[in-house]
Amino acid sequence: MPKGNERLNLVTGAAGFAGSHLVKLLLDEKQKVIATDLAKAFEHPKNKFIYKNTGLDFSHPNCQVIPSDLTNQESLRALFKQPVTHVFHVASLYDYSAPMALLEKINVQGGRNLFEIAVKHKELQRFFHWSTCGVFGKPFTAKEGKQCNIPFTEGNCSTPKNTPIEQDQPTGTHLVNDYSITKWKQEQIAWKMHRDEGLPLTVIRPAPLYGPGSDYGHGGIVLTINKGLVPAIPKDTKHYITTSAHVEDIAGFPAFIAENDATIGEDYNVVDDSIISYYDFLQYIALLLGRKIRTIPMLSMQTLRPIMIFAANTWQMLEEKLHVPRIRVFEASSATYMSSSYWISNKKTKETGYRYRYPDVREGLRDLVDWFRCVGWLDQSYRPEAAWKEFIEIKK
């Protein structure tokens, strides 16, 4: 129980990738933590393996594990029977191939459930909400005769914070996948609760994240290249920017500003300093792994994109109907991202005084490949699985 100015931190999604790293960081900082997630998530063999290899101990004396379900309001109310002062709402269903109905139920309705309960909690001092940089939408391209390679910023771009509540897309562009659509709606609800009911909100917008414990996103790309499944890439990938954030910074930034009340009512892009093309990004990963990726000079990303989307959708259909194993990151949204040039500004986070632990994605990738090697994830027999699919019956 917190005493005086002592904090009690509630972390949702605590069994997942970003949430578990945040729990570990808060415990390392001698904070008291309530870690919540689906009960089965804490006990999943893959998750327990990750905790062991990232140094997270949920039996720490400053940590309480209290299972809950975002879609069950009673389970959420039970979390606030204690004097929670800081909420870190990390939990969401993050999978570009997940059904829209499930994304809506967990991310949108589940988020609303938590916001409505938390705002009535009298001890609440801060509410940190994890959104995504995907809410900025698809960047313009030079081919369209519009600006390109201009960084997305919190103040000068259309976001759920500064766009009319009745608008379900960013102005002048569009959201590129169902996940981002639900995160836009979720963030809109959070900002409305801040304006109308005083939710002490700060929004965190992570770039594509990576780090020890994740075999999806950038981690999935590493594993795919390691299996030799990216033999060649178009030459013009040199002209497309990719963006990244290490999980230690996704956890580190909100922990850093947790007691800075000037950050209430603000939104922050959490992204490293790297300006790196997809070509250099993929070739660097291949270099670390001892693989070779050839260059295709006559094929452009814009030509390849519809082919990749068709192939990914076909493979996903075969997986669902015939149980044909699919490489998890091989999905339509990945093709859309790789054929777009994403540059996201981190200037606002750095103005708070925060220093990125991994400002250069190359350093982070070196450490990631080393961790993968140590835990056996670079073995050819290892196959990434979406653990959430084993919990789906709980959330229907």
Does the residue 190 lie in any domain? yes
**pLDDT attached to residue 199:** 98
**pLDDT attached to residue 45:** 93
Minimum mean pLDDT range among 183-187, 223-227, 242-246, 326-330: 326-330
Name every residue whose Cβ is closer than 8 Å to that of residue 375 and which is 6 or more positions away in sequence: 49, 53
Does the residue 197 lie in any domain? yes
Asked whether residue 340 carries a pLDDT value surpassing 60, the answer given is yes
Does the residue 394 lie in any domain? no
| Per-residue confidence band for 4, with pLDDT thresholds at 50, 70 and 90 | very low
**pLDDT attached to residue 390:** 64
| Per-residue confidence band for 145, with pLDDT thresholds at 50, 70 and 90 | low
**pLDDT attached to residue 301:** 81
Burial class (CB within 10 angstroms; exposed 0-12, middle 13-18, buried 19+) of 142: exposed
**pLDDT attached to residue 39:** 95
Residue 181's CB: how many other CB atoms inside 10 A? 21
Q: Which residue has the higher pLDDT, 391 or 231?
A: 231
Name every residue whose Cβ is closer than 8 Å to that of residue 187 and which is 6 or more positions away in sequence: 129, 131, 135, 159, 160, 161, 203
Name every residue whose Cβ is closer than 8 Å to that of residue 268 and which is 6 or more positions away in sequence: 154, 202, 203, 204, 205, 253, 257, 348, 349, 352
CATH number at residue 42: 3.40.50.720
Asked whether residue 313 carries a pLDDT value surpassing 90, the answer given is no
Q: Which residue has the higher pLDDT, 236 or 254?
A: 254
Distance CA 286, CA 60 (A): 38
As a whole number, the mean pLDDT across the chain is 91
Distance CA 278, CA 214 (A): 20
**pLDDT attached to residue 136:** 95
**pLDDT attached to residue 1:** 41
Domain of 129 in residue numbering reads as 8-213+244-274+344-358
Distance CA 251, CA 24 (A): 9
């030459």: which residue's tokens?
235
Structure tokens at 178: 């169902």
Model's pTM, two decimal places?
0.93
What does the pLDDT average to over 314-321?
78
Tally the C-alpha atoms within 13 A of residue 148's C-alpha that lie toward its C-beta: 13
Q: Which residue has the higher pLDDT, 274 or 240?
A: 274
**pLDDT attached to residue 150:** 78
**pLDDT attached to residue 395:** 40
| Per-residue confidence band for 8, with pLDDT thresholds at 50, 70 and 90 | very high
Query: If phi over 0 gives left and psi between -120 and 50 gives alpha, with beta otherwise, what is residue 335?
Result: alpha
**pLDDT attached to residue 329:** 74
Burial class (CB within 10 angstroms; exposed 0-12, middle 13-18, buried 19+) of 155: exposed
Does the residue 75 lie in any domain? yes
């450490």: which residue's tokens?
367
| Per-residue confidence band for 365, with pLDDT thresholds at 50, 70 and 90 | very high
Does the residue 84 lie in any domain? yes
Dump pLDDT digits (tens) for 203-226: 999 999 999 999 999 999 999 999
Minimum mean pLDDT range among 67-76, 285-294, 334-343: 334-343
Number of residues in the chain: 396
Contact 208, 218 (CB under 8 A): yes
Residue 229's CB: how many other CB atoms inside 10 A? 12
Distance CA 394, CA 68 (A): 11
Q: Which residue has the higher pLDDT, 383 or 4?
A: 383
Contact 202, 129 (CB under 8 A): yes
Does the residue 237 lie in any domain? no
| Per-residue confidence band for 298, with pLDDT thresholds at 50, 70 and 90 | confident
Asked whether residue 393 carries a pLDDT value surpassing 80, the answer given is no
Name every residue whose Cβ is closer than 8 Å to that of residue 169 and which is 6 or more positions away in sequence: 137, 175, 184
């400002």: which residue's tokens?
359
**pLDDT attached to residue 396:** 39
Q: What are phi and psi of 159, to 5 degrees?
A: -135, 170
Distance CA 136, CA 158 (A): 7
| Per-residue confidence band for 183, with pLDDT thresholds at 50, 70 and 90 | very high
What does the pLDDT average to over 112-130?
98
What does the pLDDT average to over 157-166?
95
3-state secondary structure of 133: helix
User: How many structural domains are present in the chain?
Assistant: 1
Does the residue 1 lie in any domain? no
If you write DSSP's letter for every residue of 221-281 in order, what string do you get? HHHHHHTT---EEEGGGGG-EE--EEHHHHHHHHHHTTT-GGGTT-EEEE--S--EEHHHH
Q: What is the DSSP pairing of strand 86-89 with strand 8-12?
A: parallel
| Per-residue confidence band for 356, with pLDDT thresholds at 50, 70 and 90 | very high
Q: Which residue has the higher pLDDT, 201 or 141?
A: 201
**pLDDT attached to residue 141:** 59
**pLDDT attached to residue 2:** 46
Q: Which residue has the higher pLDDT, 131 or 317?
A: 131
Distance CA 102, CA 104 (A): 5
